[in-house]
A and B are shown apart, each in its own frame.
Chain A
Amino acid sequence: MTAVHDEVLSFDEAMEKYDPALGFEVHVELNTRTKMFSSAPNGFGDTPNTNITPVDLGLPGVLPVVNRVAVESSIKIGLALGCKIAERSHFARKNYFYPDTPKNFQTSQYDEPIAYDGAIDIELADGTVFTVEIERAHMEEDAGKLTHMGGATGRIQGAEFSLVDYNRAGVPLVEIVTKPILGAGRRAPELAKAYVAAIREIVKNLGVSDARMERGNVRCDANVSLMPKGSTTLGTRTETKNVNSLRSVEHAVTYEIQRHAAVLDSGAAIVQETRHWHEDTRSTTAGRPKSDADDYRYFPEPDLVPVVTNDAWIEKLRSELPEPPAERRKRLQADWGYSDAEFRDVVNAGVMSSVEDTVAAGVSPAVARKWWMGEISRRAKIADLEPAELGVTPELIVELNALIESGKINDKLSREVLDGVLAGEGTPAEVVEARGLAVVSDDGPLLEAIDGALAAQPDVAEKIRGGKVQAVGAIVGGVMKATRGQADAGRVRELILQRLGVEG
């Protein structure tokens, strides 16, 4: 990219002078089995131009047919965002020439979206809640994917040629559009990130999208404008396109606020345009001018009949909605008795569902947390995987925990047992048996080891006899060393004290 750096004001200074207004257009790719208007598979990462039918290529004579599952997914999204569902909504054609758009028009909803007038509460880290109003959520189709070859910028300008993959063309999208979000002040970047995170969480929770931002399942266009403090007239906005990670959303909003402030301070006007986000430099560059006079020559799609809903259908879908994520979190924290900090850690580590499943499988919330936040998270970090991707099942944790509680193994040994199970050596019990990991519970060999340890540290033994019970740890350590950790430390302590005739 060309390294043209715009002037920016410091964020603090910008916030002293201006109030930001935000607006988001978030595109969610649905995970339906087939595409929005054709029977082609909706898949990611397949060989280019294999998930296509004549419809997806826009060949002469083809006609679209609406995917009913996509409509149901869209209605669910609408309901989860507190929207009204239109009794009758229509598709329209958005006409523009671009080689990733096979028909040179996108079939989208225009003036009659499937869902409209919603609102969701967005909770920031410190518990502050902002209500974001949803203008609409409408159905449309994705475009194909262009790869520009031979140019310096990777953009279409200057490329020698471009490759196009139509696998993505026609993948169902729901575009969620907010009303202008006012009043966030200096928390605007934080709110931006939290809003996109909430949308991602909602659609994932609904099961209607894979919601993987790195795959483009959730894509955000962020609108920013500033108005001088005290003003109520919205300023000119810019739309930063395709900000596709939560971190980038926060940074892009911060940057655009700072840039707008510098432009306005200089007495110049903001140019209404799209902006490209560059994660490497954490800055935006100008895209194409965007005015309200952009002419897509929308008109009702004559090849499709209106999507007509009815109360029975909507209520059936409503009854199928899962518990909203925010409510679920409140319920789980209360059920588990975690502190705010403990719960936040569990959520941030991405193990809330795993903990939930593990508790349901039969261990205490404390034990479940210990495993998922401890040993399993440690292993995930090393393996560069999500904790849930390691193959540790709730049932495995229950079995390990039962072995510990029965005194068969201790915490340290349980890790070895886990190694064995994950290496495919069998059930925890089988691994204990095969690897000879059972805690030594026969007092005979233990007493031998205790005597050895006492003889090795006669001064310590004397101190204990003299009433310094806390010194017992040194002898326990010696015994554990001698038994290669296979002894039950509690039992060892008991036996040492017995041996020395001291009350524990």
Chain B
Amino acid sequence: MSEIIRLSAAALAQKLQSREVSAVDATQAHLDRIAAVDGSINAFLHVNTEEALLVAAEVDKARADGDTLHPLAGVPIAVKDLIVTKGQPTTAGSKILEGWHSPYDATVIRRLREARMPILGKTNLDEFAMGSSTEHSAYGPTRNPWDLDRIPGGSGGGSAAAVAAFEAPLALGTDTGGSIRQPGAVTGTVGVKPTYGGVSRYGAIAMASSLDQIGPVSRTVLDSALLHEVIGGHDPHDSTSLTDPVGALVEAARRGEVKGLRVGVIKELSGEGYQTGVLNRFAESLELLRGAGAEIVEVSCPNFKYALGAYYLIMPSEASSNLAKYDGVRFGLRVVPEGAPTIERVMGATRAAGFGDEVKRRIILGTYALSAGYYDAYYGSAQKVRTLIQRDFNAAFTQADVLISPTAPTTAFRLGEKLDDPLAMYLNDVATIPANMAGIPGLSLPNGLADEDNLPVGIQLLAPARQDARLYRVGAVLESLLEDKWGGPLLAQAPEIAGVK
């Protein structure tokens, strides 16, 4: 395996800057890796070979000319196929957008282009980001590089798997209820959901607008901070985007510190329903932090028990409206039924053929929750729960500087295992959903392998809104303590991928 693809983004950026490695070679190495392993992984829906190499060549030329470049110039990246890109298809993992090309770039894509980061391609996801396993993609499931019979998490399984399989050093994900963090946990990678409004949503195909957030996917905490600084900051195209500067996140990741820090263990997010191996690794991580000078305290968030229920009312409600635009009139799939088709029948047939079962399930759920006579009981009550969750967090953050929990209750489950049991699938997001409901930032990093199945386990850090830097400061310390213990990154322990060409 080429050494280039094993490098962290930060290390690769160094070698590019010193011209030890060319951007074309770096990009080509990753394209080669994709060609070699993606037949087994299926992380990519589209590989952007030509454009990526073109951008890389431009970076090499600019660097040779002595131009001042962004520190990440030439570092390739993969993009979740929920984010629109000019010059490449964007499918959202759905048949309804098959073959559609966006005429505009998402704001985050514009920022990647400004930084001259070659885009390797678009990664697989659950259709419209609805799922926790990437099995709901209309283009086949993505497989977990640790075990090809297992799911890579979801909805951003493609981005997490691509990074875990060394197909890309960095990727963009989106996180509505855990779609960056839970795939990170089950693939042994790092994923960050920034503060709501911290990264522009313009060009991220909406599932649930009040919960969606774009964020970084990487193999190290520092790499996520580097990417976060590229994509973060105010965007006038997104009214909900924060006006604050993105903050010194890279600085925070480089100067990790936990001495005297109060780390709050959320009582409600552990114990029953959590796999033994997950709980064991969690306890060990707490010990490491304590050993490094952190104060471990227990906090209680009593309303978290309603979070999942409220989430599954708010998210489908917003999704039912956001997905109304897919009707065959202006773009994407159009199905014209037999006979004399009326506009209603064309819309109906298009949506019937274009949407998968999970999407339909959520549209129906959301339409019901918003309908007259039910609105107060469902959507209205769910919004009240949301306020209660925010209050729980506010109270917890008076006792602790960061909060901590396992990222997901289990390690990666087997493909198909929960496909017929939506509720079991939904429960996988129980620990990640509260952060979206409150708009606060969260970071997941790998903290070991579960004893019983030798699969990666993730740990989640949560900080108050706009305190994303705190996550990087603590995350970097924990990462370094863990790697000292393991004698290297967790991914070094991953098995070789079967079927490599």
Contacts and interface: CB of A to CB of B under 8 A. Distances in A.
Nearest to B201: A63
B282 interface: no
A391 interface: no
B165 interface: no
A267 interface: no
A91 to B, nearest CB: 10
B324 A105 contact: yes
A19 to B, nearest CB: 31
A301 B240 CA distance: 11
A293 B373 CA distance: 9
**6 cross-chain pairs, A with B, having the tightest CB-CB distances, nearest first:** A104-B324, A302-B210, A297-B370, A302-B209, A61-B203, A60-B205
B110 to A, nearest CB: 12
Given A103-B325, A303-B239, A305-B240, A60 B209 contact: no
A95 B370 contact: yes
A304 B197 CA distance: 12
Given A99-B343, A162-B343, A303-B239, A59 B204 contact: no
Interface stretch (B101-109, B116-124, B491-499): B101-109
Contact of B97 (A60, A63, A295): A60
A420 interface: no
B90 interface: yes
B238 interface: yes
22 contacts: A54-B102, A57-B330, A58-B330, A59-B84, A60-B92, A60-B205, A61-B84, A61-B102, A61-B202, A61-B204, A63-B240, A65-B237, A93-B321, A102-B330, A156-B343, A295-B372, A297-B370, A302-B240, A302-B318, A303-B206, A303-B209, A305-B240
A66 B239 contact: yes
A325 interface: no
Interface of A: 54, 57-66, 93, 95, 97, 99, 102-105, 156, 162, 164, 293, 295, 297-299, 302-305
A95 B329 CA distance: 16
Contacts of A60: 84, 90, 92, 97, 100, 102, 205, 325, 331
A297 B375 CA distance: 8
B344 interface: yes
A63 B202 CA distance: 6
B83 interface: yes
A140 to B, nearest CB: 16
A303 B204 CA distance: 12
Contacts of B381: none
A303 B203 CA distance: 13
B22 interface: no
Contacts of A295: 371-372
B347 interface: yes
A57 B325 CA distance: 9
B295 to A, nearest CB: 37
A302 B196 CA distance: 12
A61 B343 contact: no
Contact of B370 (A61, A62, A293, A299): A299
Contacts of B472: none
Contact of A297 (B83, B102, B371): B371
Nearest to A39: B237
A97 B202 contact: no
A60 B354 CA distance: 15
Nearest to B100: A60
Contact of B372 (A59, A65, A293, A303): A293
Q: Please indicate which of the listed interface residues A54, A97, A302 has the most CB atoms of chain B within 10 Å of its own CB.
A: A302
A304 B210 CA distance: 10
Given A65-B236, A97-B347, A54 B324 contact: no
B104 A65 contact: no
Nearest to B330: A57
Contacts of B320: 95, 297
Contacts of B330: 57-59, 102
B205 to A, nearest CB: 4
Contacts of B97: 60
B404 to A, nearest CB: 29
Interface string B185-210: 00000000000000001111110111
Contacts of B370: 95, 297-299
A59 B239 contact: no
A65 to B, nearest CB: 5
Interface in B76-114: 83-84, 90, 92, 97, 100, 102-104, 106
Contacts of B372: 293, 295, 297
A293 B238 CA distance: 34
Nearest to A104: B324
B146 interface: no
Given A59-B102, A60-B90, A65-B239, A299 B325 contact: no
A62 B202 contact: yes
B367 interface: yes
A293 B90 CA distance: 38
A68 to B, nearest CB: 12
B94 to A, nearest CB: 10
B467 interface: no
B44 interface: no
A58 B329 CA distance: 11
B460 interface: no
A392 B90 CA distance: 59
A97 B350 CA distance: 13
Nearest to A93: B321
Interface in B151-201: 201
Contacts of A162: 343
Contacts of A298: 370, 375
B379 interface: yes
Nearest to A301: B209
B133 interface: no
Contacts of A105: 321, 324
B135 interface: no
A102 B238 contact: no
Contacts of B343: 99, 156, 162
B327 A61 contact: no
B344 A303 contact: no
Most buried by A among B84, B321, B371, B372: B321
A95 B343 CA distance: 17
A310 B318 CA distance: 30
B317 interface: yes
A304 B100 CA distance: 27
A503 to B, nearest CB: 85
Contacts of B327: 97, 99, 104
A105 B238 CA distance: 19
Contacts of A65: 236-239
Given A65-B236, A65-B237, A303-B240, A54 B103 contact: yes
B239 A304 contact: yes
A99 B344 CA distance: 9
A57 to B, nearest CB: 6
Given A97-B347, A297-B320, A302-B208, 16 more contacts: A59-B103, A59-B331, A60-B84, A60-B90, A60-B325, A61-B83, A61-B90, A63-B202, A63-B237, A65-B239, A95-B370, A97-B324, A297-B370, A298-B375, A303-B240, A305-B240
Given A61-B206, A63-B201, A305 B331 contact: no
Quick one: which of B239, B347, B367 has the most chain A CB within 10 A?
A: B239
Given A102-B330, A104-B327, A63 B239 contact: yes
Nearest to B328: A99
B416 to A, nearest CB: 29
